[in-house]
Amino acid sequence: MKLIVSYKINGYIYRIIINNDEPRVFEELDNILKTVCEKFNNDVKEYVVTRIKEEIPVGKITPIIAQASNSLADYKFSEDKNLDFIIKAMLNTSIGLVISNFIDSSAYKEEEVINAKNPCQNKDFQILQAVTEWQ
């Protein structure tokens, strides 16, 4: 089971991806909440857990972007051949860097399963109870 744990502290959102078998993943959720509450002096404003329903490798999308890069040869950016060559080289390099960053990335289709406001102050909030309600 693959889950994404997001927690909000002082306006910043932090995310942790956990991937484990079902019994262990619930222990990890509880440990993450306890650790975050202790580390940030119970200042966690929001604790959200989403289950990853589908993982989509972005690398499958990049050939479309690469094709767009090849079509740059069809455009003329400057009458000066040297300047035109430099502009196209810079654009191709930039596009290549963007593609290389995306090639190993994934997009996720998520389903929210737990959403707790101020979980550290809420003494009644328990991960196991939330998990039972979610299942």
Query: pLDDT tens across 16-55, in order?
Result: 888 888 778 878 888 888 888 888 888 888 888 888 888 8
49 and 85 fall within a common domain: no
**Same domain assignment for residues 27 and 86:** no
CA dihedral 15→21→22→25, nearest 10 degrees, is -30
In total, how many domains does the chain have?
2
Average pLDDT on 61-83 reads 68
Q: Which domain holds residue 36?
A: 2-57+108-134
Nearest C-alpha neighbor of 2 from the set 44, 60, 41, 52: 52
Q: Are residues 71 and 38 in the same domain?
A: no
What kind and span of H or E run contains 83?
helix 81-102
Distance CA 77, CA 83 (A): 8
pLDDT band at 80 (very low <50, low <70, confident <90, very high): confident
Same domain assignment for residues 68 and 97: yes
Q: Are residues 44 and 87 in the same domain?
A: no
